[in-house]
Amino acid sequence: MQPPARAEGAHGPLDRGPTQSDLAIDVHGLNKSFGKKHVVKDFSLQVKRGEIYGFLGPNGSGKTTSIRMLCGLLKPDSGSGKCLGHDVLTETAAIKREVGYMTQRFSLWEDLTIRENLEFIARMYEMRERKQAVSATLKELGLEGRRDQLAGTLSGGWKQRLALASCMLHNPKLLLLDEPTAGVDPAARRDFWEEIHELAAQGISVLVATHYTDEAERCHRLAYIAYGKLLATGTPDEILHLFKLSTWEVSGPPPKLAGLAGKMKSRAGVAHVTAFGNTLHVTSEDEAALERAIAEFRDDPELRWLKSQAGLEDVFIHLMEKVEDDTQ
């Protein structure tokens, strides 16, 4: 297995990757500042056509700013590259015509019906045969039965479906989705991802920003950004093997676990301790040191220890802590 491509200056140089003709996004060294705040630093990314690319990172990490530079809404201060074959610095109008951008917050008109919203967007894109396009989109995304319902009265899941419909109306080649499932129930999230995979199978590229690691596992490739810098990229499996992490899962009474977490965080050989429901994950890059750190707690009859595999969330937490140390 090839190692994951990683951001230069973080954990190594980027891989050569696919040829230009295979790429929907191919940008290098993008930078963006607002006043004295350097929000995005030397951002480079390659996304293949028909690929679902997960974009992860904490709040304020630069995900939204990066997405807006890719779709032509913000001009980078420096850097170069192309989106759908168009220059991100000089051909932003052409990019906007071929990209569907779904914002974090519902941004359609709540006092218009579903159908009226889509018809208005069709006029904005100066689409021909607008009525036919709107009707087809309503049918494809299961909105026909609610076509005359005011957008403001829709639940979170239906608002999300309408937002996706508005992105797809002009038949884009690339979807940029900024945390599209925030505040949406699990069933609606599942339906949304099924729709995204169907679109990718049709050749549409998708870059989706998300906080959910279960969603990250549904992506073909992942990128992780923090403090404005792209830290690591690769398939979910490659990201899982980015570090050689040893993890123990411990369960027990909540008060007992809370006390244990406080003790473990200060122990030599423990990288981090993370709560997952009624369990704790105790993780380290040094397996022997971790074994020594937990040894005195292994015989506690109220605690159940189980050797576990590190998951994506463990890896991302570990990556963040290493970056925080470097920043400090």
The string of pLDDT tens digits covering residues 254-278 is: 999 999 999 998 899 999 899 988 8
* pLDDT above 90 (res 210): no
Per-residue tokens: 276: 């997952």
The string of pLDDT tens digits covering residues 219-228 is: 999 999 988 8
> Band of the pLDDT at 324, cuts 50, 70, 90?
low
Query: How do 221-226 and 52-56 pair as beta strands?
Result: parallel
* pLDDT above 60 (res 79): yes
* pLDDT above 50 (res 116): yes
The reported pLDDT for the residue numbered 21 is 66
The pTM for the full model equals 0.81
The string of pLDDT tens digits covering residues 127-147 is: 888 899 999 999 988 899 999
The string of pLDDT tens digits covering residues 271-311 is: 989 998 889 999 999 999 999 999 999 999 999 999 998 88
The reported pLDDT for the residue numbered 266 is 87
> Band of the pLDDT at 53, cuts 50, 70, 90?
very high
> Band of the pLDDT at 211, cuts 50, 70, 90?
confident
E strand residue ranges, the chain: 23-34, 37-48, 52-56, 78-83, 86-87, 99-102, 174-178, 205-209, 221-226, 229-234, 246-251, 272-276, 279-284, 304-308
> Band of the pLDDT at 18, cuts 50, 70, 90?
low
Domains and CATH numbers, the chain: 20-240 (3.40.50.300), 246-309 (3.30.70.330)
Q: Which of 85-94, 102-111, 248-257 has the lowest mean pLDDT?
A: 102-111
Unique residue bearing structure tokens 């993008």 = 30
183, 186, 190, 193: CA torsion to nearest 10: 20
Cβ-based neighbours of 200, under 8 Å, separated by 6 or more: 50, 51, 52, 206, 220
Average pLDDT of the segment spanning 73-89: 94
